[in-house]
Amino acid sequence: MKHLCTILYYFVLLWLIFAMPAKADQLTLQEQIDGTPAGSVLVLEDGVYTGQITITKPITLRGSKHTMLEGNGKESLLRIENVQNVTLENIHITDAHVGIVVKNTSQVNLLNVQLQNVWSGVQIYNSKHVVVNNLKIKGINGHYSKKGNGLDVFNSNDLTISNNKVQDVQDGFYIEKAQAIKLTDNDIKNSRYGIHFMYTEDALAEQNDFNQNVTGIMLMMTEDAQLQNNHVTEQNGLNGSGMVLFEAKNIDVLYNHFQNNRTALSTQKLATSTVEYNTFQMNQTAIELLRSNKENTVYANDFVGNIVNLRSDGTSISISQNYYDDYDGIDFDDNGIGDSPYVALQSFGQWMVRKPSYQYFIESPSVVLLNKMDRQTNAIETEQLVDKEPMMYSAQKATTEWNIQLWQVVTGLTGLVLGLWLWRKEASV
Amino acid sequence: MKKRGLVVLFSAVLLLQACSNKDFKPRGIVSETDVCKVCNMSIVHEEYAGQIALSNGDYEMFDDLGCLIEYMKNLNKGDVGKAFIKDEGENNWVDVKTASYVYDKDIWTPMSYGVIAFESKDSAQQYIDKEGKGKLLSYSDLDSFKWGVHH
Amino acid sequence: MINGLFIRLEWKQMLRSRWMQLVAVLFVFVFAAISIIQQIALPDMNGFTRQTASFLNLLLFLLPLFILTIGSMGIANDLESGWFSLLKTYPITIKNYILGKYVALVLSFMLILLLAFSIVLGMSSLAGQVHLPLVFVGLSSVTILIFSALAIVCGVVAKSRLHALALSLLAWAFALLLLSYALMAVGTIVAGHTLQKLTIVMIHLNPAEWVRFGYFIFSGQHSVLGPSFYEFTEFYSSLAGLVVYVLVTICWIVLPLLFAGFLLRRKGGQV
């Protein structure tokens, strides 16, 4: 009897383990959601779920380790509409036209969601109090003009978007008509624009990493934004730029690191904005100013190893206390500020602004010489692109790693000895 | 020897430019390289794109009608050869001067200016009837149109 | 056999020349200095930066200058001093003479290059960061091959050593500076697409620009030249483009040499 009980017990256990999920599979995900009371948590077992899903009541949908929603690549897979308090957690989504659509909602959280092979990842319309954390979005293959955006936001406010990784999409984040939006610690690469702001107010982009996009941050018709501590590297494609600020007001660009971009920061019709404490390192052009003439300042930045530091179309701007590695003045009174002004105006830089074909001559021998002559003739320039108080020392120091590579030392020395020996031998009578 | 050749070549090219034909045709979009002359955006939504064939043979591309009109305003009349805009839906280039336009604040365009172009007044009217929204504009209306302040 | 002997003789003379030794020291020194200064100051990055640009410009400025002056004056000296007439009494053809001169010139500068790059390699690895792209080595060789041929033309055309010096300086200035300035000046009047076409023409007609352009193509940095050259650089990045690049480079070597031979034959007839 006891044995029988044990066997029965194990049987029930086995049945629970294997048969239960099979039975659950018979209910579609939509039916499971419909059967879940409002306000409760639906935990999804491991497995692949297909078919479109719509959530219209306040629930938490939580996936297990291998919970996967699979679409057919043609339609939007998961819709969250006209609802408050929905949380989506721990889910893989694959093969959808649009992974998740969020419309007319408030208090929606999207956490730990992976989206793969999607034309567009997430679209958020007319919503408020949205949290998007730890999403991984990977778009489809092909040219960016044939793809959707990683995450779209339209007409929404109070959004926190952080710790996301986005790659291979058109725009990583496309933000249109949003208010109070925070984008922090995101990582966007191989896309058209990392973050694309349009008609947005009160935005913060902090500690994001942009790598190999056409443009890191494209900010247009936007007011009151802070872009700080971002790492902007290798936007060096044909039209690559680190950040482009277009028709914007009250933008603070602070403590960012721009490295190896074609143009690090391009501004157009910018007003009452500041560019402070940034590092511009080894960009082809560090700052380009076009038609931006209202109370903008470029203050206390480091310019190191750029080909063109500043160029403009005649736009005036207040430039002061930056460090330029090609400044050749001296500091007699030892206050850390050079005694003579730094003139960034270069004829070539100005030409390049006007006609793109001049780009060919960038840092060519003739232009290098021209710049040297400019240095002499422009010493009397006082208006355009002049920093009257250039700093003598950089605030930051580039770190150099010391690692001696033996084979190179050996090859170098061997080449040298061999060359000298040959020379001596052949030259001797 | 080489120098003389160069001089000949230079003058040949200059001559060619001087007598370039005045029949302005739109050129195709190269999505890898073409960016809007005004706002710098790469042109990925070809259906809204515009372009100006300048009288000197250069082309300027635009991602949105609004950018094109703004650029036109700052050009000398003589510099403009012909300006083109993509027809909504038809995806072919039409002359901006003869096209009809529809504006509504809910119409999405790359710069969200909300104005789209149609080859004929009829097709523009049809669009308005079908969508149940929109305001018909002509080319001359665009000059005084307030771009990008409707949000 | 005679030819081999002649090349060897020329090469020995080249290496013995004080001027050549001075050039070698100068070249190696400047090269090493620039690379060390730049590499300590800036982190190592792949891409077109001021560091790579100054390396490239150093090559483009110095190598052609030295090759053109030394090469052309060598030949002019032969013609002026009667050494060439003496040589002609030996069973040596004009073809052999030019080839001998050319090979000796190329080899000597290759030796200088070997010294310079060895020093840079050895020192930069000590300085911590190492970057000596192979493309620089390749293009320096192309520079030597092309400009040595041009140096021979300058030498043959010149009437005296001084004339040779003047001619080679003129050729150098044209290739490195004047043609670019002329084009930039023209660019301010003509339309953008005309400037673009003229630039493409000039890239092919100016050996210095040809080498510089080669740098962008072979280091995979065509985007540096900007969107207006997109289709042009796309072509040269393809296999067909590579073939064309090699062919044009060969033309830049062979045609000047043939031209020099032709001129020398005519001159020889007159002497």
> Among partner residues A170, A238, A266, which is closest to B40 by beta-carbon distance?
A266
Look at residue A290 in the predicted model and tell me its pLDDT.
85
Range of the domain at A42: 1-138
Q: Which of B29, B31, B33, B41 to mutate to test the interface with A (most CBs of A within 10 A)?
A: B41
Residue B22 lies in a domain: yes
Look at residue B19 in the predicted model and tell me its pLDDT.
47
Residue A156 lies in a domain: no
pLDDT exceeds 80 at position A350: no
pLDDT exceeds 60 at position B151: no
Which residues of chain A lie closer than 8 angstroms to C15, CB-CB? 423, 426-427
How buried is A131 (Cβ within 10 angstroms: 0-12 exposed, 13-18 middle, 19+ buried)? middle
How buried is C176 (Cβ within 10 angstroms: 0-12 exposed, 13-18 middle, 19+ buried)? buried
CA angle A41/A43/A46 to nearest 5° reads 170
Residue A175 lies in a domain: no
- Are B40 and A244 within 8 A, CB to CB? yes
- Are B112 and A176 within 8 A, CB to CB? yes
Q: Which residue has the tokens 């206050």?
A: A335
pLDDT exceeds 50 at position C141: yes
Q: Which of A351, A366, A420, A428 to mutate to test the interface with C (most CBs of C within 10 A)?
A: A366
Q: Which of C17, C18, C44, C45 to mutate to test the interface with A (most CBs of A within 10 A)?
A: C45
Q: What is the mean pLDDT of residues A400-409?
A: 63
Distance from CA of A52 to the nearest CA of C (A): 43
pLDDT exceeds 80 at position C127: no
Distance from CA of B122 to the nearest CA of A (A): 31
Residue A184 lies in a domain: no
Residue A145 lies in a domain: no
Q: Average model confidence (pLDDT) for chain C?
A: 86
Q: How many domains does chain A have?
A: 2
CB atoms < 10 A from the CB of B60, how many? 21
> Among partner residues C45, C114, C117, which is closest to A282 by beta-carbon distance?
C45
Residue B3's pLDDT band (cuts 50, 70, 90): low
Look at residue C125 in the predicted model and tell me its pLDDT.
67
pLDDT exceeds 90 at position A134: yes
Exposure b/e, A117-130, CB count within 10 A at least 16 = b: bbbbbbbbbebbbb
* Contacts of A113 by beta carbon, 8 Å cutoff, 6+ apart: A88, A89, A90, A91, A92, A93, A99, A100, A134, A135, A136
CB atoms < 10 A from the CB of B108, how many? 13
CB atoms < 10 A from the CB of B71, how many? 18
Look at residue A111 in the predicted model and tell me its pLDDT.
96
Residue A421 lies in a domain: no
> Among partner residues B32, B41, B112, which is closest to A238 by beta-carbon distance?
B32
Distance from CA of A202 to the nearest CA of B (A): 15
Asked which of A158-167, A321-330, A406-415 is least confident by mean pLDDT, the reply is A406-415
Distance from CA of C205 to the nearest CA of A (A): 15
Q: Would you give the DSSP letter of residue C178?
A: I
pLDDT exceeds 90 at position B8: no
Look at residue A403 in the predicted model and tell me its pLDDT.
57
- Are B10 and C193 within 8 A, CB to CB? no
- Are C193 and B2 within 8 A, CB to CB? no
pLDDT exceeds 80 at position A239: yes
For chain C, domain boundaries = 2-270
- Are B31 and A268 within 8 A, CB to CB? no
Closest listed residue to residue C78, CA positions, set C111, C103, C100, C108: C100
Asked if B113 and B102 count as a contact pair (C-beta separation under 8 A), the reply is: no
pLDDT exceeds 90 at position C174: yes
Which residues of chain C lie closer than 8 angstroms to A211, CB-CB? none
A/C interface, count of CB pairs below 8 Å = 168
* Contacts of A175 by beta carbon, 8 Å cutoff, 6+ apart: A153, A181, A195, A196, A197, A198, A200, A203
Same structural domain, A132 and A233: no
In DSSP terms, A55 is beta-bridged to A80
User: Does B40 reach chain C within 8 Å, measured CB to CB?
Assistant: no
Which residues of chain C lie closer than 8 angstroms to B32, CB-CB? 230
Q: Which chains does chain C touch, 3 or more C-beta pairs < 8 A?
A: A, B
Same structural domain, A206 and A329: yes
Residue A214's pLDDT band (cuts 50, 70, 90): very high
Q: How many domains does chain B have?
A: 1
Helix H, strand E, coil C: the string for A332-401 is: CCCCCECCCCEECCCHHHHHHHHCHHHHHHCCCHHHHHHHHHHHHHHHHCCCCCEECCCECCCCCCCCCC
pLDDT exceeds 50 at position A22: no
* Contacts of B47 by beta carbon, 8 Å cutoff, 6+ apart: B86, B88, B89, B91
pTM above 0.95?
no
- Are C190 and B14 within 8 A, CB to CB? yes
Look at residue A20 in the predicted model and tell me its pLDDT.
47
Q: Which of C193, C235, C263 to mutate to test the interface with B (most CBs of B within 10 A)?
A: C193
> Among partner residues A143, A199, A218, which is closest to B112 by beta-carbon distance?
A199
Distance from CA of C184 to the nearest CA of A (A): 8
Range of the domain at B78: 2-144
Chain B: residue nearest C207 by CA? B2
CA dist A33 and B91 (Å) reads 43
CA dist A376 and A345 (Å) reads 11
pLDDT in tens, A352-399: 777 778 888 888 888 888 888 887 777 667 778 889 999 988 776 555
How buried is A35 (Cβ within 10 angstroms: 0-12 exposed, 13-18 middle, 19+ buried)? exposed
CA dist B94 and B101 (Å) reads 12
Residue A352 lies in a domain: yes
Helix ranges, C49-191 (H):
50-81, 83-88, 94-126, 134-157, 161-173, 179-189
Order the strands of the B93-95 sheet from edge to edge.
B59-62, B50-54, B80-86, B93-95
- Are C190 and B17 within 8 A, CB to CB? yes
pLDDT exceeds 60 at position B122: yes
Please name the residues between 322 and 361 in chain A that touch chain B, using a CB distance below 8 Å: none
Distances (CA, A) of A153 to A166, A176, A177, C220, C254: 15, 6, 8, 37, 63
Same structural domain, A133 and A203: no
Residue A180 lies in a domain: no
For residues A137 and C27, the model is more confident at A137
Same structural domain, A242 and A328: yes
pLDDT exceeds 50 at position C106: yes
- Are B6 and C198 within 8 A, CB to CB? no
- Are C180 and A239 within 8 A, CB to CB? no
Asked if A215 and A243 count as a contact pair (C-beta separation under 8 A), the reply is: yes
Closest listed residue to residue A208, CA positions, set A175, A186, A189: A186
Q: Which chains does chain B touch, 3 or more C-beta pairs < 8 A?
A: A, C
- Are A143 and B40 within 8 A, CB to CB? no
Distance from CA of A145 to the nearest CA of B (A): 5
Look at residue C130 in the predicted model and tell me its pLDDT.
52
> Among partner residues C125, C224, C230, which is closest to A408 by beta-carbon distance?
C125
Same structural domain, A131 and A243: no
pLDDT in tens, A293-330: 678 999 999 998 888 899 888 777 899 999 998 888 88
User: Does B11 reach chain C within 8 Å, measured CB to CB?
Assistant: no
CA dist C39 and C129 (Å) reads 7
- Are B57 and C186 within 8 A, CB to CB? no
Distance from CA of B45 to the nearest CA of C (A): 19
Residue C45's pLDDT band (cuts 50, 70, 90): low
What is the rounded radius of gyration, in angstroms, for the C-alpha atoms of chain A?
29
CA dist A59 and A46 (Å) reads 19
Residue A163 lies in a domain: no
CA dist B25 and B67 (Å) reads 20
* Contacts of A409 by beta carbon, 8 Å cutoff, 6+ apart: C122, C125, C126
